[in-house]
A and B are shown apart, each in its own frame.
Chain A
Amino acid sequence: AQKVTQAQTEISVVEKEDVTLDCVYETRDTTYYLFWYKQPPSGELVFLIRRNSFDEQNEISGRYSWNFQKSTSSFNFTITASQVVDSAVYFCALSDYNTDKLIFGTGTRLQVFP
């Protein structure tokens, strides 16, 4: 069965701190995609990144970086020098190879205090 686990329910940090959101997944597929989405209070999902299972290169985009490790089935997300605007719920998701369906983790609520 496919599953995404985000063990951290809520994280609170003070502005400028670095924070890492954990994501562990389970799948039997050899080809799959992993995603991170941000959901601000408005509710609309904001796409952050998509990574395919064959590309284990870490990625950096501004203050955001992602660490994909197939050996541990993890796809962790780090925000460097966090800002208040980063406050949101962050979801990690796994795509089903055959159907394009997304399996979401339970989300991590990040609160960044000034």
Chain B
Amino acid sequence: GAVVSQHPSWVICKSGTSVKIECRSLDFQATTMFWYRQFPKQSLMLMATSNEGSKATYEQGVEKDKFLINHASLTLSTLTVTSAHPEDSSFYICSVPGPISYEQYFGPGTRLTVT
């Protein structure tokens, strides 16, 4: 069965609104989770590392005030896209490191469309 879930699987929102995406680790606790973004026909790019109990670590070029990450518990991380614009339309995927070194479990992704 699924190890990582994401909700919602897809969302359409109007420009200027905020959208929250949840990533849940179903099988084990995760002090770290990763958020990736994938534009159409492009590769996955790491946006940030979500850390339970502390601030997220953002990759270069990712606006921390626009992409708010909250690692609320050992099984839940949320990504909020604030004041979304059409250029934020993308496929957002989270991943959870597994208990064995270098294992990664990916969520099914959330497709965001901003109109």
Contacts and interface: CB of A to CB of B under 8 A. Distances in A.
B13 to A, nearest CB: 19
A91 B106 CA distance: 13
> Could you tell me the dominant secondary structure of chain B's interface residues?
strand
A43 B43 contact: no
Interface string B29-64: 000101000000111111001000000000000000
Contact of B44 (A50, A100, A104): A104
B49 A101 contact: yes
Interface string B10-34: 0000000000000000000000101
B93 A45 contact: yes
Interface residues of B, number: 20
Nearest to A97: B102
Q: How large is the interface on A (under 10, 10 to 19, 20 to 34, 35 or more residues)?
A: 20 to 34
A102 B46 CA distance: 8
B97 interface: yes
Contact of A100 (B43, B91, B102): B102
A52 interface: yes
B7 to A, nearest CB: 14
A71 interface: no
Contacts of A82: none
A103 B104 CA distance: 12
Contacts of A43: 91, 93, 108-109, 111
Interface string A80-114: 00000000000100010001111111110100000
Contacts of A91: 43-44
Contacts of B103: 50
Contacts of A44: 106, 108-109
Interface of A: 33, 35, 37, 42-45, 47, 50, 52, 91, 95, 99-107, 109
The 10 closest A-B pairs by CB, nearest first: A33-B102, A45-B106, A44-B108, A43-B109, A104-B44, A104-B43, A106-B43, A100-B97, A95-B102, A107-B43
Interface of B: 32, 34, 41-46, 49, 91, 93, 95, 97, 102-104, 106, 108-109, 111
